[in-house]
Amino acid sequence: MSAVLLEWYDANARSMPWRVPPREKMAGVRPDPYRVWMSEVMLQQTTVAAVTEYFNRFTARWPRVDDLAAAEDADVMAQWAGLGYYARARNLLKCAREVVADHGGVFPQDRDGLLSLPGIGPYTAAAIAAISYDEPAVVVDGNVERVMARLFDIHTPLPAAKPELTERAAALTPQKRPGDHAQAVMDLGATVCTPRNPACGICPLRSPCVARTRGTAADLPKKTPKKAKPIRQGIAYVVRRVDGAWLLETRPPKGLLGGMLGWPGSDWGDAPAPAPPIEAAWRDAGAEARHTFTHFHLRLKVMVAVVPMEAQSPTGDWHARVTPSDLPTVMRKVYDIAAAHLDGATQRDI
């Protein structure tokens, strides 16, 4: 089965900036563990389409792991803004610095060694070990789970099915070209064995696929229904000084959006207490900034004010200009609402 899949992969592998194409790999070009690691961290809970621009920007600015290790935290966080799940960016720096300090700038060459690094879990360790070093590690992401569930017609719902799906994937992982095999299964899931309307007619594994034979492919994998996410409320305070400067704060290093620039605001909870960062004539911008995190939905009331030059605040710093791309997504949403309100109001209105 693996031989058939690898033949399909050699002809149909997706082109990605972090991937060495099969033909080049056969000619002796080896995948760069740094680029593989970077891509895998970025791809956690994010799509290939969303990651590509960030990956190209990161590797152009920090082409080697020692370049990234020497980077300023604020620069890395700013470049990460908008990609989400910001703990990944903090762990990215920790990991790069540990690779340089403790491993001479070379990533460990086996799964167990990779697991010792900050921010690298079982999936990422297996992916780097298989793709970069051809260790026959078992790489299981959402695409692989879907392919295995259909290939063997497994109806146990996720996440309970994970051990069985991993066992099936392990049984198919070859000793030769395990990294290409892992990428082949992921590509198959992303392009052919898709969540909806799988293209079974062109699938290289259509003959041995039990779910195709039984007509159950479109119903798999089954998933345990998720609990409804709670809704948290908050208040964001957007202050513009008369010279056009904005008041921003750097969030605490730990927690949601840790180390990122953002607007001063209240806690996020059921009944947030007002916490204006400066005395001003605050106005409601008339719209909520809505954003969904992994475990909850957030609704931010946006308050705006314009203050004189002498205004001071202990909670943040004045920035002559705001570049929305330097802000995390929820803070960009706040900015869009506030800027539209301020730009549409006259000074007398405010």
What pLDDT, on the 0 to 100 scale, is given for residue 344?
67
Least confident among 63-67, 84-88, 93-97, 284-288: 84-88
What pLDDT, on the 0 to 100 scale, is given for residue 349?
39
- Pick the catalytic residue from 7, 40, 72, 167: 40
What pLDDT, on the 0 to 100 scale, is given for residue 203?
97
- The mean of the pLDDT values for the chain is 93
- The structure tokens 């070209």 sit at 177
Write the pLDDT tens digit of every residue in 99-154: 999 999 999 999 999 999 999 999 999 999 999 999 999 999 999 999 999 999 99
Least confident among 38-42, 59-63, 144-148, 346-350: 346-350
Structure tokens at 272: 């947030």
Q: How confident is the model at residue 57 (pLDDT cuts 50, 70, 90)?
A: very high
Nearest to 107 by CA among 219, 29, 12, 30: 30
Q: How far is CA 301 from CA 3, 222, 249, 266, in A?
A: 56, 38, 18, 10
What pLDDT, on the 0 to 100 scale, is given for residue 138?
95
Write the pLDDT tens digit of every residue in 317-337: 899 888 888 888 999 999 999
Q: What is the mean pLDDT of residues 152-162?
A: 97
* 343 pLDDT higher than 90: no
Write the pLDDT tens digit of every residue in 7-18: 999 999 999 999
Q: How confident is the model at residue 348 (pLDDT cuts 50, 70, 90)?
A: very low
Under DSSP, is residue 147 helix (H, G, I), strand (E, B) or coil?
Answer: helix
C-alpha 162/C-alpha 140 separation (Å) is: 9
C-alpha 141/C-alpha 127 separation (Å) is: 10
Q: What is the mean pLDDT of residues 230-245?
A: 95
Under DSSP, is residue 305 helix (H, G, I), strand (E, B) or coil?
Answer: strand
φ/ψ of residue 235, rounded to 5: -130, 130
C-alpha 33/C-alpha 187 separation (Å) is: 20
> Is 40 annotated in the active site?
yes
C-alpha 126/C-alpha 158 separation (Å) is: 20
What pLDDT, on the 0 to 100 scale, is given for residue 350?
34
What pLDDT, on the 0 to 100 scale, is given for residue 211?
97
What pLDDT, on the 0 to 100 scale, is given for residue 312?
86
Domains of the chain by range and CATH?
2-219 (1.10.340.30), 231-343 (3.90.79.10)
Nearest to 4 by CA among 177, 132, 127: 177
Q: How confident is the model at residue 345 (pLDDT cuts 50, 70, 90)?
A: low
What pLDDT, on the 0 to 100 scale, is given for residue 259?
83
Query: Would you say the C-alpha torsion 317, 322, 327, 333 has a positive or negative sign?
Result: positive
φ/ψ region of 162 (left if φ > 0, alpha if ψ in -120 to 50, else beta) reads alpha
* 347 pLDDT higher than 70: no
In the chain, the N- to C-terminal Cα span, in Å, equals 69
What pLDDT, on the 0 to 100 scale, is given for residue 307?
94
Q: What is the mean pLDDT of residues 296-309?
A: 96
Q: Which residues are paired to 262 by β-bridges?
A: 249
C-alpha 55/C-alpha 43 separation (Å) is: 10
Q: What is the mean pLDDT of residues 61-84?
A: 93
Percent of the chain with pLDDT over 90: 81
Q: Residue 168: what residue type?
A: R
Report which of residues 252 and 238 the model is more confident about: 238
Structure tokens at 58: 């990161």
- Give yes or no for a contact between 303 and 284, defined as CB atoms under 8 angstroms apart: yes
Write the pLDDT tens digit of every residue in 18-28: 999 999 998 99
Q: How far is CA 58 from CA 22, 129, 160, 174, 243, in A?
A: 24, 22, 36, 33, 33
Length of the chain: 350
